[in-house]
Chain A
């Protein structure tokens, strides 16, 4: 075992970036925070992976240049909500094979709302040509239809998703970096304006500007007195069903058994889950695919396990409450939260004695739902 996550860093998140702030400056802030957290000198970084929708026309090497990093391993990832997981997998293998020894994985975006609208309307050719002319509302419209299907198939009601939103908001109260921390009531949730029926304002991730970074290296390089976090297993799926299904199963369904087998643990052993939450329906779909809802009763799981916080899901508030600084950085925040929890550094939201976590990524809404997904089982090294 030669690779572990030894440090994490986050920029400030803001709903409206100010003049002079860009994806680059948020990424810089996250990188500085991660280097300080990992007690690593920038000169020791010899590998970098980055994902961002708003770095263009710069690419990864331009970012390396602007960060003053000379590298022997470099990657730019394009998988949106599963970019962070993808970069994590590549970084681990990069270190394990000796291609790099200290790898920085970062992501960040500062599109602003108008920029986000443009990205959403021409996300890919299918979206630009076949969805945007309908006035489909970007991903909100796509996942409105998926959510309607999930409600029909599993007998879910709006209040079930409400319990998830309220629980994540309650977790966010313990995260000083979350953009929304005030308690949310069921009255507020059910009374919120509809965005794309059945989705209301609290079902749709708040777009923010911000960035995340993590540092991977040999576990011996972890700062003294802190447990490194290793990845017991990681799996990915791309274009699992050619968009021909109902979207209620994600690509995670293709590898979940293999993931648990490789990790050598069972879903019931997991202490917390960091599930990519672009929409509450997709949190339930991924948990179900992972086998964390053993009887397949999504409604009960949403109400009791998540709603009553019996099982910790998205303890940083998820993107729903912490904010979505683009899919790539949003996904990286899920990994970072798993690391903080496993290192017992999660403050007021700490899950007692957390030892094992599962984190996921889900992304790239190609036409009817997301075509990429990934998951990792992370473990505290004693």
Chain B
């Protein structure tokens, strides 16, 4: 996992976007600069206790997280951070993970998914 998470800033109007777009929804410019966002605030969480088609599923926690720019992203939580907690963001293969600010970085790989 690498520290921070990549979002996209529109070079025309400054809007911060995730996931990446083709044109900015605000100014319809086509140029974006990647930007690292290192922390966010947990707004809601859910423990995923069951996964369709997977018998030996281990519960995982996801969260709706707000960044300083007001962007909302869905993050995999690797500890029991609840609503209001500031978390450090990490990235693995384009997916965001988080732990409470100042905690050791998560090392575990993301869970395997059924093949697409």
The interface of chain A, by Cβ under 8 A from chain B, is: 113-114, 116-118, 120-122, 125-126, 128-138, 140-142, 144-145, 148-149, 152, 193-199, 207, 242, 244, 367-368
| 16 pairs, A vs B, C-beta closer than 8 Å | A116-B52, A117-B53, A120-B52, A121-B116, A129-B95, A134-B74, A134-B96, A134-B111, A137-B46, A141-B48, A145-B63, A148-B46, A149-B44, A195-B49, A195-B50, A196-B46
Q: Is the interface of B mostly helix, strand, loop or mixed?
A: strand
Contact A116 B50 (CB under 8 A): no
- Name the A residues within 8 Å of B50 (CB-CB): 137, 140, 193, 195-196
- Name the B residues within 8 Å of A152 (CB-CB): 44
The interface of chain B, by Cβ under 8 A from chain A, is: 18-19, 25, 43-54, 60, 62-64, 72, 74-76, 92-97, 110-111, 113-116
Bound-state CA distance A242–B96 (Å) is 20
CB distance from A20 to the nearest CB of B (A): 22
- Name the B residues within 8 Å of A132 (CB-CB): 113
- Name the A residues within 8 Å of B75 (CB-CB): 134
Using A197-B46, A242-B25, A367-B19 as known contacts, say yes or no to A129 and B94 having CB atoms under 8 A apart.
yes
Contact B110 A118 (CB under 8 A): no
CB distance from A142 to the nearest CB of B (A): 8
Using A126-B19, A130-B74, A152-B44 as known contacts, say yes or no to A137 and B114 having CB atoms under 8 A apart.
no
- Name the B residues within 8 Å of A138 (CB-CB): 51-52
Using A121-B113, A141-B46, A145-B46 as known contacts, say yes or no to A131 and B52 having CB atoms under 8 A apart.
no
CB distance from B20 to the nearest CB of A (A): 9
Of A117, A140, A141, the contact of B54 (CB 8 Å cutoff): A117
Contact A134 B95 (CB under 8 A): yes
CB distance from B77 to the nearest CB of A (A): 9
Contact B64 A118 (CB under 8 A): no
Closest to B97 in A: A134
Using A117-B53, A134-B76, A145-B74 as known contacts, say yes or no to A196 and B64 having CB atoms under 8 A apart.
no
Contact B62 A117 (CB under 8 A): no
Contact B94 A145 (CB under 8 A): no
Of B25, B48, B95, B97, the contact of A137 (CB 8 Å cutoff): B48
Using A117-B54, A368-B72, A368-B74 as known contacts, say yes or no to A133 and B113 having CB atoms under 8 A apart.
yes
| A137, A142, A199: most-surrounded residue (chain B CB, <10 A) | A137
Contact B74 A131 (CB under 8 A): yes
- Name the B residues within 8 Å of A198 (CB-CB): 46
